[in-house]
Every structure is written in C-alpha cells, then in structure tokens.
Amino acid sequence: MSARLLRRVLKEQDEQRLGLSNVQQDAGGGGGDETGEESDSPVAGAPSRNLFDLLDNQGYEEDTVGDSTEDIIEKQQSVIRKAYDAVPVMNYKSKKKKKKNKEIQKSAKFKDEESLDSILEELSIDVKASHENRCHSAKEQNENVIDATKKQGGSSILTVDSKYLKVENELRKIFGSRVVSSFENNEIGGNLRQIHGGRRAIHNPRRTILVTPSSFWPRWDGSLSMELIETKDGLHYFRYLHSAAYSHAQEAFEAAKSANDLNAIASILAHYPYHIESLLTFAEVFKFSGEHQSSADVLAKCLFALECAWHPLFTPMQGNCQLKYIHDTNKPFFTALFCHMKNLDRRGCHRSALEVCKLLLSLDCDDPKGALLCIDYFSLRAEEYRWLEEFVDEYRSDNSLWMFPNFSYSLAFARFFIEHDLSSSSNSTEQTEKASSTDLMKQALMLHPLVLQKLVVKAPLKESLWTQILKNSFFGSAKAGSPTLEHLISIYVERSYLIWRFPELQNLLKEAALQVIESFKASSSEAKDWACVRKEAFSSERNEYSHLLVSDFSDTIPTIPPEELRQFMVGPHLDEIHPADEGDANPQTAHATHEVAGRNAAVVFLESLLPWVHYGERQAHAEDHDQNIQ
C-alpha cells in the first residue's frame, strides 16, 4: 500500500470518529434507553464496503457484524499496521524477483549467442566475408542496371528532377511568390463559388509529383491500377489496368464517341470523375474553344488520376521503368503528358516542359509522341546548353542524333551561347576543345539546306540579303530527297522558328550561309558529297514519322478546327456510313446530320455549338426542291 492511500484511509477513520462522537452526544441528550439500544446496533454511518479486502484474506463484512464501533476501529488500525509493515518486505521481494529475471534473461541471451557462434564455427561461415560478398554483388547489380539503361537509350541523361516538374515553382521564379499565391487564392475561391447544390466537403488530396491537386477535386476512386509485367535487363515493364467500373465507363464513352454526343461524355464524368478518355476529350474541346486554363485544369486532373494508379515499384524519375505505348491502356498517359508539355510551353515554363519531355522519352525508347523532335527546343529555351551537348553525345551509342535537322541546328545554337558565356568569363581553354558555332552552323546548312529556305518564309527573315542568298542554286533549289526528311524539316521549322527571331542568331546564320556559298564556288563536288550523306542517313522511301502531325508541334491553335475535332471525336468509319454526294460541291454536307423534332431545345442548342454537328441541311435542300416542283 502506498503512503498516499494510507493517509487517505487514516483521514477517513478520523472523520468516522468525529461522526460517531457527534451521534453519541445527540443520543445522550434524548434519553438513556435510546443510547443503550443504539450501542448494541451497528453504526449507520459505517462504510458499506471494506477498503482493506485486498490486504486481508478474510472478508471485512463477516468480521464486523455484531461488533461495536470501538472494536471496528481497533481492527482497522491493526490491519493498517500489518499492511504498513508488509510493504517494504513486498518491495524487497519484488526487487529481488526483477533482478533474478534480468539475470535469467541475460544468461539466456548469452547462451543463444554462444550457440549461434558455435553453429557458425561448425559451418565455417565468415560473417564479414558474407557481408562483403553481398555488398559486392549489390554493386555489380547496380552496374548492370546502369549498363542496361545506357544500352536502352541513355536513361542516365534522362533522369528527371522532380522539383522542376511543378509549374508553380517555375512561375514563382518568373513572377514572384506573391503574384502566384494571390492568383492561386483567387482561382480556388472562384472554383468553390461555382460549386452548387449540397455542401461539398473539402479534403486534402494525396501529394503527387506531376501536378498539384486541388482541394475541391473529388477523391481518388481507385478505378485505375498498374501491374508489373516483367523485369528484363534491369528495367521494369509496367501496364495500366482497368477495373470493372472503369471498363463500363469506357464502353459508355465509346458509344458516346461514335454518336458524337458530348453531353453523354459529360454524364460519364458526372458518375466517373476520373475517366481518362473523357477528361482528354474535354481538354481538347476547351483548348480549341480558346479556354486554355480550363484545358490545363482538366489535364492536371487527368495526370493526378494516372499518377494515383502507379505501382509501388514504378519510379519513372530514375529512368529504370518502361511503359510501352503498344498497350492500349498506356496510350492515354502519353497523350496527357504530351498535352501537358505543350501547355507548359505556352505558359512560358520551359524548364518544366523540358523535364516532362525527358520523362516522355524515358518511358518508351521508341518515342511514340516525338519527344526527340522538341527536346532540343525546350533545352534552348530553358538555357540548358551544356545538357543538350551531353544528351547528343550520350543518348545513342552511334552518335546519329546530329543528323536530325533539329539537333544539327540546335547544337550550333548551344555552342554559340556557350562561347558567349566563356568569352564573358575569360576562359578560353574550353573553346579550343570543340568545334566553333560557325563551323557547326555551316555543317547544318550543308546537310539540310531546305531548312533555310523554309525559315526565310516562316520566321520571316525580311532583309534583302536573304533573297540574294536564296538565289543561289544550293539554297534556292534545295530538296529534302526523302519524305521522312521533309516531314522532319517541317516539324522543326514549325516548332523552332521563334528562336530565329533573335538578331544574334540571324547574324550567325547569315555569316555561315555566305561562307557555304563561297566554299561551294571553290569546289562543286562538296555539295554532292553532302547530298550522298543526306540520302544515306534518310534512305527510306516512305515517311517513317507520318504518325506525328506537324500541327501537334505548332504554337498556333485555330479557334474552330472542324477537321481535327471531327477526327478526334469520330472514327474514320463515319465517312463510310455517311458518304458525300457525288454531285454536291459543298463538303460540309458529308457531316452527320441530326434530327431536331421531338428533342429538348436546350440539348439541341448545346449540341449545335459543336463544330461537327449539322442540322437539316439535306432536309432543307429536299424541301426547297419539293416546293420548286409544286
């Protein structure tokens, strides 16, 4: 028993004594017969339970029945003395027991260690040697993984820095943190005011690497997942998987897509807010309608859903994961990343766009979206000139990237800016190690002279000297020689013509073009040699990059492009179902017509805003024809 509990019991006894004395005094004043009766009866104020049952083996109620109050007090005091005397003995015994238990545990551990050591000695196993062997094997494994990734396409140079992926970080560097924070607060407030109906609970979504999720987005429903297909040569191959609910939404989307019903796609998003194909559809609709911020928000939600479905082993930032485009379930991720990269470029966040482009290229070495054709542009706009030179040297073992039109000209640009930085820092040792920017530009012009011919028109370059340069037969009558090269040159000019508006780069191009003309005057055979190199590098008679549209690499977005929207929403089978009339000169009559009678007026109005929907054109012609006959 503790000292605190002992004091409490003694205090209660004192209070009981005082209560008994008061009761006896009151009884003595009332009469002698009553006192005698009350002395034989038990005290009414006595406790109903014994507080010392835990210390005494016998019950207190049985011992106190029929006893007087003085006997009760004496018994309680004797019990308290016994308990007080027994406390140090109990503590001493418990301490002895604890010491004994500790000694037993120590002896058991010592015996176990001795037994393990004896077993290891019997088996002749050296622990240190085994640990060193494990470390050595782990190093060998890592070296094998690095070698495998280099063979797959230089994934070491494509390691993505996640801190540059967030567009907010780059916007804060450009405009300042106050401006970005105020814009984000206004945007969040506007989105919350647009929420109608019942109370919408705001939650903290999970953190992602690609985008920053908003608090008013719906919770991740887990409709997508990812599986590990195989591990080969140190690379992990993954594929997205659809749940049963997502497959049902996909079937509804295909039906709405074939019927050109954008309202049905909106209803799919109402029930399945993270259906990827529906989100991509609305991102395209918002983009072509001029609402670029809404398009970027929808794409961010799409990337958030795709990242939430990542496998625990899927670490694309390290460059050791492959997500092949041949699987249909993986294609939306590439489409969303490519559109997100273009939105970042449109907002001036070229460093973030470069990291997304590196991620696209590292996920599939076959480059299904043409990331190689714009990674040089983003590196130049982000002022990553040295990284571009390292990328061209390390990405492929055959060093054939400089043969592409975009890399041949971009390497000259990168070397020009590096030379400018070196001249300002008075360090001339590195300038002698590599070719100069003028030599690289001359090499690019001799390899791809058609680029100059198209740049003068596209940039445009309006000096009179450019017309004289194009009068030269080498530049004026330049041809690609193959459909693949012509397509690549068109993509490069469409992607990078804005860089040529810098006056210093125009001077570099002008000086190199004049030197090329002078060198060809001295020896005409040099032009034929470069033509042979060009033909050997791009010898295919078919366009190997026909799946890449030139418009996908353009900054200009038409407000209403009916062809691209119709091709995106409707498959090619619709032209076979609704062929154009042979005698009809208006090509718009080939579009699918929709019935108006008996339908909701609001639905018809919303549907009429879509550029691919037409109402009653053939019926109007038929009615006019009938009226003319009558």
pLDDT tens-digit map of 263-319: 899 999 999 999 999 999 999 888 888 888 899 999 999 999 999 999 999 999 988
Please check whether residue 353 is in contact with residue 265, taking contact to mean a CB–CB distance below 8 angstroms. no
Percent of the chain with pLDDT over 70: 61
Confidence grade of residue 37 (pLDDT, cut at 50, 70, 90): very low
CATH 1.20.140.10 fits 154-185+206-370, yes or no: no
Alpha carbons 227 and 238: distance in angstroms, whole number: 6
- Distances in Å between the alpha carbon of 255 and those of 113, 264, 271? 70, 9, 16
Torsion angle of the four alpha carbons 532, 537, 538, 539, in this order, in degrees rounded to the nearest 10: 70
Please check whether residue 314 is in contact with residue 321, taking contact to mean a CB–CB distance below 8 angstroms. yes
Model confidence at 6: pLDDT above 80: no
Model confidence at 615: pLDDT above 50: yes
Joined together, the tokens standing for residue 579 give: 């062929």
Model confidence at 69: pLDDT above 80: no
Alpha carbons 538 and 532: distance in angstroms, whole number: 10
Torsion angle of the four alpha carbons 325, 327, 328, 329, in this order, in degrees rounded to the nearest 10: -100
Alpha carbons 414 and 404: distance in angstroms, whole number: 15
Model confidence at 143: pLDDT above 90: no
- What integer pLDDT is reported at residue 72 of this predicted model? 55
Helix (H) or strand (E) run with residue 147 in it:
helix 127-153
Q: Record the pTM.
A: 0.66
Please check whether residue 200 is in contact with residue 186, taking contact to mean a CB–CB distance below 8 angstroms. no
Alpha carbons 230 and 228: distance in angstroms, whole number: 6
Please check whether residue 69 is in contact with residue 43, taking contact to mean a CB–CB distance below 8 angstroms. yes
> Where, residue-wise, is CATH 1.25.40.10 in the chain?
154-185+206-370
Joined together, the tokens standing for residue 105 give: 């545990």
Average pLDDT value for residue range 115-136: 48
Beta strand 321-322 with 614-615 is unpaired
Alpha carbons 372 and 387: distance in angstroms, whole number: 14
Residue 163: which residues within 8 A CB-CB, separation 6 or more? 169
Joined together, the tokens standing for residue 378 give: 């983003």
Beta strand 593-594 with 614-615 is parallel
Backbone φ and ψ of 599, nearest 5°: -115, 165
Q: Which of 94-98, 105-109, 411-415 has the lowest mean pLDDT?
A: 94-98
Model confidence at 529: pLDDT above 60: yes
Residue 310: which residues within 8 A CB-CB, separation 6 or more? 226
- What integer pLDDT is reported at residue 173 of this predicted model? 82
- What integer pLDDT is reported at residue 21 of this predicted model? 60
Confidence grade of residue 124 (pLDDT, cut at 50, 70, 90): very low
CA angle in degrees (0–180, nearest 5) for 233-236-242: 150
DSSP letters, 453-515, are HHHHHHTT---HHHHHHHTSHHHHT---SSHHHHHHHHHHHHHHGGGGGSHHHHHHHHHHHHH
Alpha carbons 362 and 230: distance in angstroms, whole number: 17
Alpha carbons 290 and 557: distance in angstroms, whole number: 8
Joined together, the tokens standing for residue 93 give: 């015994």
Beta strand 321-322 with 593-594 is unpaired
Alpha carbons 493 and 449: distance in angstroms, whole number: 12
The label of the residue with tokens 């260690």 reads 113
Average pLDDT value for residue range 223-230: 95
- What integer pLDDT is reported at residue 262 of this predicted model? 84
Nearest to 501 by CA among 458, 541, 538, 534: 458
Model confidence at 603: pLDDT above 90: no
- Distances in Å between the alpha carbon of 346 and those of 11, 302, 378, 556? 84, 19, 12, 10
Beta strand 235-242 with 224-232 is antiparallel
CA angle in degrees (0–180, nearest 5) for 196-198-201: 100
Alpha carbons 407 and 376: distance in angstroms, whole number: 7
Percent of the chain with pLDDT over 90: 40
- What integer pLDDT is reported at residue 540 of this predicted model? 86
Model confidence at 15: pLDDT above 80: no
The SS3 of residue 101 is helix
Q: Taking all residues of the chain, what is their mean pLDDT, rounded to a whole number?
A: 75
Model confidence at 199: pLDDT above 80: no
Q: Which of 351-365, 546-560, 587-601 has the lowest mean pLDDT?
A: 587-601
Model confidence at 627: pLDDT above 70: no
Please check whether residue 306 is in contact with residue 276, taking contact to mean a CB–CB distance below 8 angstroms. yes
Confidence grade of residue 139 (pLDDT, cut at 50, 70, 90): very low
- What integer pLDDT is reported at residue 75 of this predicted model? 59
Model confidence at 150: pLDDT above 50: no
Average pLDDT value for residue range 86-114: 50
Alpha carbons 429 and 569: distance in angstroms, whole number: 58
- List pLDDT tens digits, range 416-447: 999 988 887 765 555 557 889 999 999 999 99
Give me the residues paired with residue 545 across strands.
none
Model confidence at 128: pLDDT above 90: no
- What integer pLDDT is reported at residue 258 of this predicted model? 87
Joined together, the tokens standing for residue 32 give: 């002698």
- What integer pLDDT is reported at residue 613 of this predicted model? 58
Q: Around Cβ 595, how many Cβ atoms within 10 Å?
A: 10
Higher pLDDT, 525 or 355: 355
